[in-house]
Structure 1
Amino acid sequence: MRKIRQSVKYIKVSESRTRQFFACVALVGGIDTSIGLRSDCVTRWNSTFTMLESAINYPRAFNSFSLHDTNYMWFPSKDEWNRVEIICDFLRPFNNITKLIYSSSYPTSNL
């Protein structure tokens, strides 16, 4: 999870890196980019979930990016990607419940 956070931070901190990353996305092709690549806020667990869930779509792009940017050194291994998928599957119901509770203007116990 740390490598993914560092990877996203490394890419998103610079407009040129972001452009280069999405050029890698286009190069490998077949990636749904509708969700984008999202950063997290360390004080909000659901933002970490959102970051991980968005990053799961891009492992091939991160791999391609690692070949094009010699300073990039946080490429997650296949095992780390698998762990992140498991973590996302575990956290998804909690995220859905959090959205349900906080999306209502008038939270009630029956929700």
Structure 2
Amino acid sequence: MAHTVAHRILRMIHAENERSTACTLRGDAYALTINTAIATARAIAAAAATVGSENVSTEFSPSLGCEDFAFMIRAAGGCYAWIGAGDVGPGEGLHGDRYVFNDEIVPTVLRYYVNLVEQTLPAS
């Protein structure tokens, strides 16, 4: 599955590169972020405990936005997860030139991490 997704992404990038001379990409050098099953199940459970399962999305289109976590997840296992911070306009998302952190999500994010830790670490 990951191999197929990687090839689809690389074909899209290659097609875009043919229209532009500003970017090159070696397909074998791009790391795929592949979440591990246990960490993913824990992340989903913590999210459902935080905001309700009806507010948890687990189906996403492939993204090139998390390759920097790929090497860490390969070595230690893990789950790269997105926390919805609300709708944003052009340039207002993470890494955009008009990005503004949504302070209102802080309590929800903290509750998520508390839930994740409580379900992962044994009680003592």
> Is the TM-score greater than 0.5?
no
TM-score of the pair, normalised by structure 2: 0.27
Compare the two structures and name the one with the higher helix fraction: 1
CA radius of gyration, larger in: 2
TM-score of the pair, normalised by structure 1: 0.29
